[in-house]
Structure 1
Amino acid sequence: MLAVFECAIGRPPKELGHGSGARPSLNTREEIAEVFRSWRPSSSLYHLPNDNFLAVSHEDEILTQSRSLVVMDGIFCIFAGILNNTCDLRRHYGLSRRATEAMVVVEAYRVLRDRSPYPPDQVIRHLDGKFAFILFDAKATNLFLARDRDGSVQLHWGMAGDGSLVCSDDPKIIAEACGKCYTPFPPGCIFLSGNGLISFDHPLHKVKAILREDDQGKVSAVIFQADLYTKLRSIPRSGSAANWADVAVVEGE
């Protein structure tokens, strides 16, 4: 799976651009899309405004994890992996027995966005399984990423040459698109384009970027993890589509 969004939508953490080594050879979203389609000719690619796009391929699912993509009411969701409690979640959200994991995630997001007073970490904690997903709400221009706490399914994110956010479970394509400016998406975390990174196991602690340097003092890697010594004053909450991207997370003193 692959998703590429301009900086204004993806709002990638600035630390993703600190990777050392040669800059990526692909500088635009159009170039990344062309390379992906040449490598994965049977992939499905969904074009969005301003050359943003999502793509999914089923070529190597036997060796990795199954993937599915669903589009519902302007919400795109690529889901990789499996949920062990899909039946329970279908009943909880009032979905049919044919609803896939991707449909469950979309419905969970819609409830969270439109009606639920609960913070997003509580919703994701209800997902039991091995998974990673990329969700984009085209109407609200919200991006929502998540990975299970064990990191069972690959998900990487990085910054392309034009500053776009690139997310993929394919190390080969993200390395081609981002050079050294990418890192594994942190397990047990969610990313909201309006709120940034949140640990759903430690929602009251800030997720910080740790820059690792080589012998020459250059940044060689960026790792994101929850800082158990830094607490937040509040957790992002969502009550309507209007305030979904406007809730601020304030770092505690």
Structure 2
Amino acid sequence: MLAIFDKTVATIPKPEGLELHTAESVSALKDECLSSYFASKYPGSIEIDRRPACMICSKTDVRDPISPSVFAMKDDIFCFLRGRIENIPDRLTVYKVKKEINDQANILIDAYITQRRRDGDDGPEPKSQKTIRQFYWFSLLKGFRGNFAFVLFDARKNIMFAATDVGADTGLPFYWGTDVEGNLLLSSDVEIIKQGCDKSYGSFPKGCYIMTSMGLRSFADPHKELEVEQARDNVGNLCMMVNLEA
């Protein structure tokens, strides 16, 4: 999976002085080399082109017993889910979501729609009302167990959301980074992410989410935006790392 979001839709909190790009770096949204590379590496993949806001590519495979990749679309909302949510029946009972339990990407969309502001209701919103509206969504996601990562994009409102499960740090590969223009990239393929981000990438932190206008946060402490630092990977190369202790 590959998702590219314009920096006006989603941003990574970047410390001053952190620069991991080279003079040859190009915009992943303006230059189609990255999406073409993905298509050549994964023949038959799906591409959702909603530029200038975003571009999403994915190879669906529902037959993979360990890490299936599924796609769903409803009301101009797109969701790519990789992996499996194990406790769907329990969560659906608690939150009264009526959906086939095998249709996990659509379950995420339906849960998101429940908390989304109604079309046309775009004026100022009291903070207390927003908190109540989002409580359902975050509570449902925080309670999911399994081994998964997903990306959701609401094209009507230009809102993105991406998250990983809250389990131990042994899950599916899922990376994030920025291109030379500060656009956000998310991918399950480290070679794809390197191609688009140079050294400005890292593993997406477990149990965390990123959302338009909210930045990166942890399900364990959603009131605090997380920080990004420069680090070195296991072979000594520069990369970026999330400071979960700051």
TM-score normalised over the length of structure 2: 0.79
What residue in structure 2 maps to residue 18 of structure 1? 18
What residue in structure 2 maps to residue 183 of structure 1? 202
Over the matched positions of the two proteins, sequence identity in percent amounts to 25
| C-alpha distance 60-24 of structure 1, shift in aligned 2 (>3 A) | farther
Aligned residue among 150, 167, 181 for 1:162:
181
Deviations along 1:88-146, one digit per CA (max 9) or x if unpaired, are 33443432325511111112212222473527542321212111110111111001010
Q: Which moved more, 1:148-157 or 1:12-21?
A: 12-21
Residues 59-138 of structure 1: matches in 2 within 5 Å?
A: 62=64, 65-91=67-93, 92-97=95-100, 100-114=103-117, 116=133, 118=135, 121-138=138-155
Partners of 2:172 and 2:83 in 1: CA distance: 6
Partners of 1:108 and 1:223 in 2: CA distance: 30
Partners of 2:16 and 2:104 in 1: CA distance: 29
Q: Are positions 1:210 and 2:213 aligned together?
A: no
Q: Are the equivalent residues in 1 in contact too, given 2:60–2:71 (CA < 8 A)? A: no
Q: CA deviation at 1:212?
A: 2.9
Q: Are the equivalent residues in 1 in contact too, given 2:97–2:111 (CA < 8 A)? A: no
Partners of 1:10 and 1:187 in 2: CA distance: 18
Q: Which moved more, 1:71-80 or 1:116-125?
A: 116-125
SS of match in other structure, 1:42 = coil
Partners of 2:53 and 2:38 in 1: CA distance: 14
Matched to 2:133, the amino acid is S
Deviations along 1:18-67, one digit per CA (max 9) or x if unpaired, are 35474665433222111111221211111113273111114797496111
Q: Which moved more, 1:34-43 or 1:86-95?
A: 86-95
Structure 1 unaligned spans of 5+ = 229-253
SS of match in other structure, 1:41 = coil
Structure 2 unaligned spans of 5+ = 118-131
Partners of 1:64 and 1:176 in 2: CA distance: 26
Report how many residues are paired.
224
For the aligned residue pairs, the C-alpha RMSD in angstroms reads: 2.9
Partners of 2:62 and 2:72 in 1: CA distance: 19
